Amino acid sequence: MEFLSSKPLLITDTILRDAHQSQAATRMRLEDMLPACEILDSIGYYSLECWGGATFDACMRYLDEDPWDRLRALRRHLPHTKLQMLFRGQSILGYRNYADDVVDSFCAKSIENGIDIVRVFDALNDPRNLEQALRSVKKYGGLAEAAISYTVSPIHDEAYFLRLAQELAQMGADSICIKDMANLLSPMAAYSLVKRLKETVTLPIHLHTHDSAGTGAMVNLMAAVAGADIVDTALSPLAGGVSQPATESMVAALKGTLRDTGLDLSRLGSAAAHFRTVSASLEQAGFLDSRVLRVDASALIWQVPGGMLSNLIAQLRQIGREELYESVLAEIPSVRRDFGYPPLVTPSSQIIGSQAVLNVVTGKRYQMFSKESKAMLRGEYGQLPGPVNPEVLQKAGIREEDRITCRPADLLQPELPASREKYKALAQREEDVLSLALFPQVAEEFLIKKDRWSNSPPSIGFMFFH
């Protein structure tokens, strides 16, 4: 099998974001990152994914760090490398749709504070939920990477993804990302999809996968053979399992080939040596469980991401019904089919999983609905990929004429003026307003603490800002 491209394969390393989000509950601190920045900046990565996703919330909620301060610090210490973030479309970094003015301002401030590339995705693959973010990223000088949430269903065949890529390209995307959040993309399917995408659109193709089912490195390799321009990997101390395949392994596999990355294994080894100590600290603190490193092929059977599995276990444990785990797993594909085959990624994975738990625990399917389930069925999150089971709509008390058919954000009024007024005594800058708009309770508690400590410096030995 011959390489379909002779260009060096570009590498995005996720060590500063998705790697520790996936393996260590997003608990890596800025002080763990900064000592490695000089060597990371010298490696020659296409980009470093370092912000967005769950990091914004986790910084304030668990680490007593301001996410905006983190971004500015990383920008100062990584002057030669593009910085990348993950952005949930109209949901930004939260769990509901926000008004267009919040999306626009968040894009502006992210780029102003140091982000170069914004990967924008939508859990339902509804392009309307990407429109504003893509437009705003480009308006403020960032690179807009539009992501396809990859999944497997009777709806989601190769032709579906090709049509979606064409639509995203027409919307002004600078690159297309295949976002395989559950390692469902098989190596041969990756080869075929990348090859067809390269024939269909003229944009760079960026592949993001995980190694949950043990096929991540094979998926990346076959994508490289098919002509993918960029792949996501993670430095080895936080690679594999529910994280991305290892950077060093990918670089070594392609060394001396047409797609040689050109990256220096010794420099990668120096960076990895630092993160081995960080990984050990995270494990000692109880944030890194060896189970996240295991190959679990159940995702290929149930099509459930690893993070969703752990969430289901936690839900059942909370109500003392862990014995129902297998029954809930078996129910998830049925709920997903009834809901029109949404991809299982935040927030749809949580919604489908919780509904499956309700169906099994009550012993009667759809006797109870969560408010999020009803919102998804009504169309508040966007257009579901396939038709919804009409019996489920009836049980949820939703008439067909009540379902939303427009872009959901068109129903939202501007939010920032009210947020600025509400928090004028607390917010010292526009970034604070945005933090409060996305996470009102968490950000308010954090900013009150931040203000108190800035006026009364903590004792020596307590590091609040790094």
The distance of Cα 97 from the centroid of its chain, to the nearest Å, equals 16
Going by pLDDT thresholds of 50, 70 and 90, the confidence category of residue 307 is low
**Which residue type, as a one-letter code, is found at position 201?**
V
% of the chain exceeding 70 in pLDDT: 96
Mean pLDDT of 417-435: 96
The pLDDT value given to residue 455: 67
More confident residue, 317 or 18: 18
Distance CA 328, CA 369 (A): 15
Both tokens assigned to 140: 């403020």
Helix, strand, or coil (residue 395)? helix
The pLDDT value given to residue 310: 66
Distance CA 150, CA 348 (A): 13
The pLDDT value given to residue 287: 87
Other CB atoms within a 10 A radius of the CB of residue 286 amount to: 10
More confident residue, 53 or 462: 53
Both tokens assigned to 408: 């959901």
pLDDT tens, residue by residue, 347-364 = 898 899 999 999 999 999
pTM of the model: 0.93
Instruction: Name the β-bridge partners of 144.
Output: 118
% of the chain exceeding 90 in pLDDT: 83
pLDDT tens, residue by residue, 431-462 = 999 999 999 999 999 999 988 877 665 443 33
The pLDDT value given to residue 233: 98
pLDDT tens, residue by residue, 228-270 = 999 999 999 999 988 999 999 999 999 999 999 999 999 999 9
Closest CA to 49 of 182, 208, 161: 208
At residue 64, does pLDDT exceed 80? yes
**Which residue type, as a one-letter code, is found at position 379?**
G
The pLDDT value given to residue 101: 98
Question: Is 356 in contact with 316 (CB distance < 8 Å)?
Answer: no
Both tokens assigned to 35: 């000592």
Distance CA 121, CA 84 (A): 14
Cα 24 to Cα 12, 19, 283: the distances in Å are 20, 8, 8
CA pseudo-torsion sign 97, 102, 105, 106 = negative
CA pseudo-torsion sign 40, 41, 47, 49 = positive
Closest CA to 340 of 330, 329, 351, 325: 351
Domains of the chain with bracketed CATH:
10-284 (3.20.20.70), 304-410 (1.10.472.90), 416-455 (no CATH)
The pLDDT value given to residue 286: 87
Distance CA 309, CA 293 (A): 14
User: Which residues, at least 6 apart from 394, have a Cβ–Cβ distance to it below 8 Å?
Assistant: none
pLDDT tens, residue by residue, 107-116 = 999 999 999 9
Distance CA 442, CA 193 (A): 41
Closest CA to 57 of 464, 465, 451, 446: 446
Mean model confidence pLDDT for the chain: 93
The pLDDT value given to residue 198: 98
The pLDDT value given to residue 374: 97
Question: Is 316 in contact with 347 (CB distance < 8 Å)?
Answer: no
Closest CA to 337 of 389, 391, 302, 379: 389
